[in-house]
């Protein structure tokens, strides 16, 4: 498997996305705050959005590892900013990201995430 534009996809790539926290993003037991599971989903979406333009037709990435903190809260109606930094590419397939998530109250999460480049046909 080869990333078609691998010369363009390199460690050092940065990307950020801003998301508005909605009431539906809450954990089942607490109203009005961003659930850890939803925060991780937004983080994965941000990493995918950053690298998808560099992949060959028919390729995508899937998450393989998540190691993040969740040390602060983001409330419904607030924006969170997710910043990712591609720090390592192993064998042109395994991508490692450093992650930082900020809410109006400050940094609410840091950590790492790994994604694997795969052919979509494997899941059809």
Q: For the whole model, what pTM was predicted?
A: 0.91
Residue 116 Cα to chain centre, angstroms: 13
Q: The domain that contains 58 carries what CATH number?
A: 3.10.129.10
Structural domain contains residue 48: yes
Each residue of 2-50: pLDDT tens digit? Answer: 444 445 799 999 999 999 999 999 999 999 999 999 999 999 999 999 9
For range 58-64, the mean pLDDT: 96
Structural domain contains residue 3: no
Distance separating alpha carbons of residues 74 and 34, to the nearest angstrom: 6
Q: Which residue has the tokens 């690298």?
A: 51
Q: How much is the CA Rg of the chain, to the nearest whole Å?
A: 15
Distance separating alpha carbons of residues 14 and 16, to the nearest angstrom: 7
DSSP 3-30: -TTTTTS-TT-EEEEEEE--GGGS-TTS
Each residue of 66-83: pLDDT tens digit? Answer: 999 999 999 999 999 999
Q: Give the residue numbers spanning the domain of 86.
A: 14-123
């Amino acid at each position: 498997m080869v990333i078609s534009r691998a010369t363009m996809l390199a460690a050092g790539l940065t990307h950020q996305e801003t998301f508005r926290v909605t009431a539906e993003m809450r954990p089942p037991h607490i109203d009005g705050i961003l659930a850890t599971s939803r925060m991780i989903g937004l983080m994965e979406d941000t990493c995918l959005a950053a690298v998808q333009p560099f992949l060959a037709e028919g390729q995508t990435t899937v998450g393989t590892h998540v190691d993040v903190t969740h040390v602060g809260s983001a409330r419904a109606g607030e924006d969170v900013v997710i910043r990712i930094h591609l720090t390592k590419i192993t064998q042109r397939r395994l991508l490692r990201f450093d992650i930082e998530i900020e809410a109006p109250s400050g940094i609410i999460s840091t950590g790492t995430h790994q994604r694997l480049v795969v052919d979509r046909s494997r899941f059809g």
